[in-house]
Amino acid sequence: MNKHTIELAKEARRQFENCLYTAAALFEWLKFLRFCDASLSILPIIFSALATWRVFDATENKIAVGIFALLAGLLPIVQRALKLSTRITEVSKAAAEFTNLRDRFRQVATVSVHKDEEELERHFDATMGRMEKARQLCVTAPNWCFGVARKKIKKGIYDADFESSVPAFKHLDLVDAEKSDSNA
């Protein structure tokens, strides 16, 4: 393996890791957005029911009834203002694309690296082109999502079962390849 091939494989591994963390963070953000959307859909119904429930006599519990009625009317407006359905669609598309890119970069680093240099470079460049388009989506998860994603990745939650017996990058020892090329 020549130095250029080794460097492309290293960069593909770096991009694989970037996509892994980005996709995981976006999925955490997506779960949170879906929870908020569902909550903002259900809570007005609950608050409406509480505001009209006979247990809360309107004359004795004016404040409680008023708060429940206010929340029942206010939450749908908040939901529309946040445009959660649009954000959910955007984050879903970005998370799926970064997941696909993660797999493509893994394939470049583990499979394409064994092909001729032109084909490797063609696959790498095509995948980087997709990466540039994905980044143009400008969907960014909050920092706390990256923290949650990092913890899950470190625990191995995103590892495939087959990788426990055959890790994705173990067969491609780039450090040893560099040493053998420099000794030749």
Question: Using one digit for the tens of pLDDT, what is the confidence trace for 31-71?
Answer: 999 999 999 999 999 999 888 877 666 667 788 888 999 99
Domain limits of the chain? 15-177
pTM for the whole structure: 0.79
Question: Using one digit for the tens of pLDDT, what is the confidence trace for 99-131?
Answer: 999 999 999 999 988 898 899 999 999 999 999
Q: Per-residue DSSP letters for 123-184?
A: HHHHHHHHHHHHHTT-----HHHHHHHHHHHHHTTT--HHHHHS-TTTT--HHHHHHHHHH-
Return the H-helix or E-strand segment holding 27.
helix 3-52
